[in-house]
Structure 1
Amino acid sequence: MTTQKTHPFQTLRDLLRYAVSRFTEAELAFGHGTATAYDEAAYLLLHSLHLPIDTLDPFLDARLLPEEIERALSVINRRAGERVPASYITNEAWMHGHRFYVDERVIVPRSFIGELLEDALQPWVNHPDDVADVLELCTGSGCLAILAAETFPAAQIDAVDISHDALDVAKINVADYGLDDRVALHLGDLYAPLPDGKRYEVIITNPPYVNEGSMQVLPAEYRHEPRLALAGGDDGMDVVRRIIAGARERLTDDGVLVVEIGNERDFVEAAFPELPITWLATSAGDDMVFLVQAADLPQQ
């Protein structure tokens, strides 16, 4: 006679409570799409159980199969024990209502430029429907290039990254959105792989900008991400300097450069004291993204 194993967890509610306790006890860092232990636990459990990730309540008291419980516990243990970002466990990230494929070859998509693209960068871009060419530098997973293609429906998008691995991920996302004919992926260092003489009405970039001091104290979750996509040198401005130095040559006369720099505003202002910078308002404040007009950029 065989005895059926009795599991201490029976319902999704049981697992949710347990996951929140584990995540809180482990003092996990959030910021890859969720902000609390509860939100992250709900997302991971719904995803692991193949349930709609925006529909929790109807399933809370549903009894789970033993194999479902084991699968969910494996996810909880990996998140709490290894401190792997949730998006690397689920191979997806959500940004501004869009789903993107991700894995450890790219940083988890998160960008305030996405918010600004929802308003088509107005009033700095007067006629979004007339924009013909957009450049994204340091594209990573390709998320901003895809959002730019939706924002500027007549534009061709060039997206550049120095990482072959990152572009392999971007290729998946571009194909998923059916944008192979509008988003061109380029392997190389910033402006180097682009066609000679080509100019853009808009250049957007979320480059590596974390200063070395901050890199040394990053939470474990962020250390799972490629260092190449995060580290910006002693003051975080190594790549930003090169982007600004080359932007004027690549922008049309009325073009704009939009750069995301996270919490590095002080370093930006110290590095570019003479540059006329406009700080753009986002949901996190007005010190995350700046804009420079082509006429104000230095000539090479």
Structure 2
Amino acid sequence: MTTVDAALRVASTVLADAGVPSPEVDAELLVGHVTGLDRGVVRARAVTSAALTADEQEALVAAVARRASREPLQHITGRASFRRLELFVGPGVFVPRPETEGVAQLAVDALRAVPEASPVAVDLGTGSGALALSLASEVPTASVVAVELSPEAAVWTRRNIAAVGVDNVRLVEGDLADALPELDGLVSVVVSNPPYVPTGMVPRDPEVRLHDPALALYGGEDGLDLVRALSLTAKRLLRPGGALVIEHGERQGGAIRDLLTADGWRSPATHPDLAGRDRATTAVR
């Protein structure tokens, strides 16, 4: 018989030896995944040395082995937490990151500040739908359009829209460069987490390098090809005074501010994430 506390110790050691950045947390989440329990209950059962069933033990060994191979935790559990949401994720879609939650907050704040009763917001390159669904669920008076080019990612977007159950968001499959001409001049907020990794800069973490789709990662030689397209599309979509929110890499803020200024945007400003790294740039149409 294996107890929860013993299983956590073994799993944490295996994951730490494999270089997983947060082995104790991941061990708790994997035990929760195989037992169907949330993390707090897992901790409580560890204190009381509650037993795992044989099936749970077998499932945990397999799950820990997958995580030790640096498969993303979210691919193993099939879920990713994002703000108030639990999203379905897996192969073919970019796993939303905690730092993007702050980007969502900038967009939510901008959308809440719009004086219209039913403002329109657009998420360009939505992936799992994390940003679009945050806007739709947190600003229920808004109408949100999520745009996604990848058919593989769009499968997850549709699944998450259905799971969250909001009726004020819709998915449009297509390229952000020529998206939504019918909304030209009618949108109040455009938000995007575009591909921004320079082509020659291979991500260090195996979870990203081996498992996130290349289409969601790489943005050309300097990482800004999609940002250039995004700037033009957003300028076309937004009404005067509308807000643009772009996520980017920590060293790209200055270049993006220059790009937006050259395109005629007003008040470009770069904002840090909770770790103090530049993470998003905003501008006004």
For residue 83 of structure 1, the aligned residue among 57, 70, 74 is 70
In 2, Cα distance between equivalents of 1:72 and 1:113: 30
- In structure 2, the partner of 1:16 is 8
Could you tell me how far apart the structure 2 residues matched to 1:122 and 1:101 are?
A: 25
The amino acid that maps onto 1:69 is Q
Using structure 2 for the length normalisation, give the TM-score. 0.88
Secondary structure of the equivalent of 1:160? strand
- Per the alignment, residue 215 of structure 2 pairs with 228
- State the distance in 1 between where 2:115 and 2:139 align: 6
Counterparts of 2:157 and 2:168, CA distance in 1: 13
Contact persistence 2:103–2:279 (CA under 8 A): no
Tell me which structure has the larger Cα radius of gyration.
Answer: 1
Match of 1:130 in 2: 117
Tell me which residue corresponds to 2:19: 27
- Taking the aligned partners of 2:183 and 2:111, their CA distance within structure 1 comes to 23
Per-residue deviation at 1:284? Answer: 2.7
Superimposed CA distance per residue, residues 100-133 of structure 1 (whole angstroms, 9 cap, x where no aligned partner): 0111120111254533544765478634773510
Task: Report the number of matched residues.
Answer: 277
Q: Which moved more, 1:283-292 or 1:268-277?
A: 268-277
Determine helix, strand or coil for the equivalent of 1:212.
Answer: coil
Distance 1:126 1:203 in 2: 14
The DSSP-based 3-state class of the residue aligned with 1:134 is strand
Which AA in structure 2 matches 1:138? G
C-alpha distance in 2, partners of 1:51/1:92?
Answer: 14
Structure-2 residue corresponding to 1:187? 173
**Identity over aligned pairs, percent:** 30
Aligned mates of 2:115, 2:102 — CA distance in 1 = 15
CA distance in 2, matches of 1:201, 1:266: 23
Q: 1:172-202 deviations in whole A, cap 9, x for unaligned?
A: 11011112x3211111110524142432100
Aligned pairs for 1:19-168 within 5 A: 19-28=11-20, 30=21, 36-60=22-46, 61-80=49-68, 82-110=69-97, 112-118=99-105, 121-122=108-109, 126-127=113-114, 130-168=117-155
Preserved CA contact (<8 Å) 2:111 2:119:
no
Corresponding residue for residue 240 of structure 2: 253
Aligned counterparts of 2:75 and 2:173: Cα–Cα separation in 1: 23
Find the aligned partners of 1:113 and 1:50 in 2 and give their Cα distance: 27
1:250-299 deviation per Cα after TM superposition (whole angstroms, max 9, x unaligned): 101010110000324257358628455211243132510110110xxxxx
Q: Which structure carries more helix by proportion?
A: 2
Amino acid of the residue matched to residue 67 of structure 1?
D
Task: Provide Cα deviations, 1:221-267, integer angstroms capped at 9, x if missing partner.
Answer: 11211111111111111101110122211101010110000324257
